[in-house]
Homo-oligomer: A and B are copies of this chain.
Amino acid sequence: MTTLTIQSFQNKYDVNIGTGLRHEISDLLKSNYAKVFIITDSNVAPFYLKEVISAFGEDTAVSSEIVPAGEGSKSMACYSSLLDRCLELQLDRHSLIVALGGGMVGDLAGFVASTYLRGVDFLQMPTTILAHDSSVGGKVAINHHKGKNLIGSFYSPVQVIYDTEVIGTLSNQEIRSGFGEVVKHALLSDHKWFQRLMDTTLTEVNQEELVKHLTSGIKVKAEVVEADERETGLRKHLNLGHTLAHALEAEFGYGEITHGEAVAIGILFAMKISEQTIGADLPFQSYTRWLRHNNYPLHLVSQIDPERTVERMKWDKKTVGNAIHFVLLTQIGAPTVTALTDKKLIQIMTDFVKDEGGTFD
């Protein structure tokens, strides 16, 4: 087991990463809880809910709620009904809410935990690769029909217990999605790690390599977040690839393209902008080959409507006034933030769709 310690502005918490940790919850947890409420989804529950419930031991009253898998559950309606459930269960300030699932479950359960009785303890148990990113850093939220994560708070978990064994049951799409954020963390920090990733076929990654990638990813995230939890400066770098990604997710629907796949493509676009505006020399071609080799949905690029997509970006909450702020790379490991006009952005995106869209089909 690897343990990282993260200092947030609210508290200090451990991230335990290892194989089979879901069976060791009661040993790993730093506090005892009389009442525990597990929030999970319909994909995860059939595999792991029973095991996790029994791992809490007999002295703990454990209840659970299974929400439908998918972004649709990050809704005001679902949030509100989970709060009703907390009250029915008479959870008090000394109870624990557990997020057992991927980023969706973590965001939703975390927002419930952050606002129920003005905040109760919250345990993240990520079950996806993608959640290595979202489970650390304290951002929790639900969606609004106008955009993703528009309602939420900054709220850290008391602990993250990350059982990498459960990643064995992920689909290839979920693995691709997760590695979208892994690639981002590599690009933000370490040229060698990025090169190793470029030599990796995602369906062949073993447990040991996986733990390494996830630990490295969480370290990058943790360093940035510790330096700037409220996203006033440095943390913006973590949005690399995300400005286009959110627009793609909204455009193609949350079913057609996963978050991490959208980020992976968003990164490619950020590389293109970095080359065209600040003259950066980036591995655009080798990264494109890697995306294709691992079946990222590059065919969607040719379907992008630049004007509509830029409109969507302006809806993204990272927008300030009228300029869209983009995270670019001057080189691997050296991110920077640049404001771009709509006009410039539409021009670069039109070229991107025309030049690259064709070759991806």
Cα A317 to Cα B117 in complex, Å, equals: 7
Indicate whether A150 sits within 8 Å of B317 (C-beta atoms), given known contacts A80-B76, A83-B144, A87-B144.
no
Cα A153 to Cα B116 in complex, Å, equals: 8
Question: In the bound complex, do residue A115 and residue B320 qualify as a contact, i.e. CB atoms below 8 Å apart?
Answer: no
18 contacts between A and B (CB under 8 A): A80-B80, A83-B144, A83-B150, A83-B151, A87-B147, A92-B321, A93-B317, A94-B320, A115-B151, A115-B153, A116-B150, A117-B150, A118-B139, A118-B149, A119-B153, A119-B154, A119-B230, A153-B153
Question: In the bound complex, do residue B34 and residue A118 qualify as a contact, i.e. CB atoms below 8 Å apart?
Answer: no
Cα A34 to Cα B321 in complex, Å, equals: 9
Q: Does A54 contact B (CB under 8 A)?
A: no
Indicate whether A153 sits within 8 Å of B114 (C-beta atoms), given known contacts A87-B144, A146-B87.
yes
Which chain B residues border A139 with CB–CB below 8 Å? Answer: 118
Tell me the smallest distance from the CB of A104 to a CB of chain B, in Å: 17
Q: Does A264 contact B (CB under 8 A)?
A: no
Cα A92 to Cα B321 in complex, Å, equals: 8
Q: Does A277 contact B (CB under 8 A)?
A: no
Q: Which of A2-35 contact B (CB under 8 A)?
A: 9, 34
Cα A9 to Cα B80 in complex, Å, equals: 28
Cα A258 to Cα B80 in complex, Å, equals: 27
Which chain B residues border A80 with CB–CB below 8 Å? Answer: 76, 80
Cα A152 to Cα B92 in complex, Å, equals: 14
- Provide the A314-357 mask, 1 if CB < 8 A to any CB of B, else 0: 00010111000000000000000000000000000000000000
Cα A117 to Cα B151 in complex, Å, equals: 5
Q: Does A141 contact B (CB under 8 A)?
A: yes
Indicate whether A116 sits within 8 Å of B151 (C-beta atoms), given known contacts A76-B80, A146-B87.
yes
Top 5 nearest A-B pairs (CB, nearest first) are A118-B152, A117-B317, A87-B146, A76-B80, A115-B151
Q: Which of A103-128 contact B (CB under 8 A)?
A: 111, 114-119
Tell me the smallest distance from the CB of A235 to a CB of chain B, in Å: 12
Question: In the bound complex, do residue B115 and residue A152 qualify as a contact, i.e. CB atoms below 8 Å apart?
Answer: yes
Tell me the smallest distance from the CB of A142 to a CB of chain B, in Å: 9
Question: In the bound complex, do residue A320 and residue B151 qualify as a contact, i.e. CB atoms below 8 Å apart?
Answer: no
Question: In the bound complex, do residue A320 and residue B118 qualify as a contact, i.e. CB atoms below 8 Å apart?
Answer: no
Question: In the bound complex, do residue B146 and residue A92 qualify as a contact, i.e. CB atoms below 8 Å apart?
Answer: no
Tell me the smallest distance from the CB of A39 to a CB of chain B, in Å: 16
Which chain B residues border A94 with CB–CB below 8 Å? Answer: 320-321
Tell me the smallest distance from the CB of A311 to a CB of chain B, in Å: 12
Q: Which of A63-120 contact B (CB under 8 A)?
A: 76, 80, 83-84, 87, 92-94, 111, 114-119
Cα A308 to Cα B307 in complex, Å, equals: 62
Question: In the bound complex, do residue A319 and residue B144 qualify as a contact, i.e. CB atoms below 8 Å apart?
Answer: no
- Provide the A145-185 mask, 1 if CB < 8 A to any CB of B, else 0: 01101111110000000000000000000000000000000
Cα A11 to Cα B9 in complex, Å, equals: 12
Known: A115-B152, A116-B151, A118-B141. 9 other contacts (CB 8 A): A34-B321, A83-B144, A114-B153, A115-B115, A115-B151, A115-B153, A117-B150, A117-B317, A118-B139
Q: With CB as the reference atom, state the residue of chain B lying closest to A80.
A: B76
Cα A84 to Cα B319 in complex, Å, equals: 18
